[in-house]
Amino acid sequence: MRSFTACLGLACLFAVAPLSAQVIEYETVEVVADHFDSGGERSLFLTFRDAPTALSAVFPAGPAYGPFRVLGDGRAALVDVTDARSPGQFAAMLRDYPGITSIEMIDCPGTEDDLANLRLGRMIREHGIATHVPAGGSVRSGGVELFLAGAHRYADAGAEFAVHSWMDDTGLEPDDYASNAPENRRYIDYYRQMGMSPIEADAFYAMTNSVPFSSARWFGAGEMGLWVRLEGAGA
């Protein structure tokens, strides 16, 4: 994910974040970023942590639409990285299964195209679909935007999240652009569209950029609940 210019590092984050958000603590983990595409890739593959066995060893076997699997009973699962094709695949899934009302976020490494990923998030919100990270579920990098898109958000105890800065196809990261540049504004605008106040959107964006593209900050459902409203077990 992203970062403002140098003035919006962690020190500035604590100056603008809601009081409850100031108690968040993170583990920093080094990762290997494989590549990036024109839309900007932000993916974290679990090569450095053991994937939750119960969830990642056997993915749902329902009808597949790119990274989505139809589970039935109004549910779909997201089990892989998104890319430029994902908005169209999501639209096709809803055309064939218009009764889907929630997405189980089982293993979400991120995205290979940030612009398409943000478009996908807006589609999730526009259709009033809920997002749910079950215990052991892992939502990382660009997958976090999709979780935030839920009209209702659920995260069980034992769910995990990871954020980091983005990198574009020229190798530049958020700090290489002005804070009000379109490359940075698109994420802040997205967070506001997902229900955050201007101060919350700025603070959340700064937090996600507090580590570079090659690292990650990990936290659980309790910490996510300090940033956005959760419903259910993780609230």
pLDDT tens figures, 4-22: 222 222 223 323 333 333 3
pLDDT at position 10: 28
Question: According to the 3-state scheme, what is the secondary structure of the chain?
Answer: CCCCCHHHCHHHHHHHCCHHHHHCCCEEEECCCCCCCCCCEEECCCCCCCCCHHHHCCCCCCCEECCEEEEECCEEEECCCECCCHHHHHHHHHHHCCCCCEEEECEECEECCHHHHHHHHHHHHHCCCEEEECCCCEEECCHHHHHHCCCCEEECCCCEEEECCCECCCCCCHHHCCCCCHHHHHHHHHHHHCCCCHHHHHHHHHHHCCCCCCEEEEEEHHHHHHHCCCECCCC
Indicate the burial class of 136 (C-beta count within 10 angstroms; 0-12, 13-18, 19 or more): middle
Number of Cα atoms under 13 Å in the Cβ half of residue 107: 17
Q: Mean pLDDT throughout 125-145? A: 96
Residue 17's contacts (CB-CB under 8 Å, 6 or more residues apart) are: 200, 203, 207
What global pTM score does this model have?
0.78
Residue 115, number of CB atoms within 10 A of its CB: 14
Instruction: Give the tokens for residue 46.
Output: 């679990």
Least confident range from 5-19, 61-75, 118-132, 165-179: namely: 5-19
Q: Mean pLDDT throughout 129-138? A: 95
pLDDT tens figures, 25-58: 333 333 333 333 333 444 443 332 333 434 444 5
16: left (phi over 0), alpha (psi -120 to 50) or beta: alpha
Contact indicator for 120, 93 with CB cutoff of 8 Å? no
Is the pLDDT at 106 greater than 50? The verdict is yes
pLDDT tens figures, 47-99: 323 334 344 445 567 899 999 999 988 999 999 999 999 999 999 999 999 99
Which domains does the chain possess?
Answer: 6-227 (3.90.226)
Q: Mean pLDDT throughout 170-198? A: 95
pLDDT at position 61: 73
pLDDT at position 62: 84
Rounded Cα distance between 143 and 122, Å, is: 13
Question: Which position has the higher pLDDT, 162 or 10?
Answer: 162
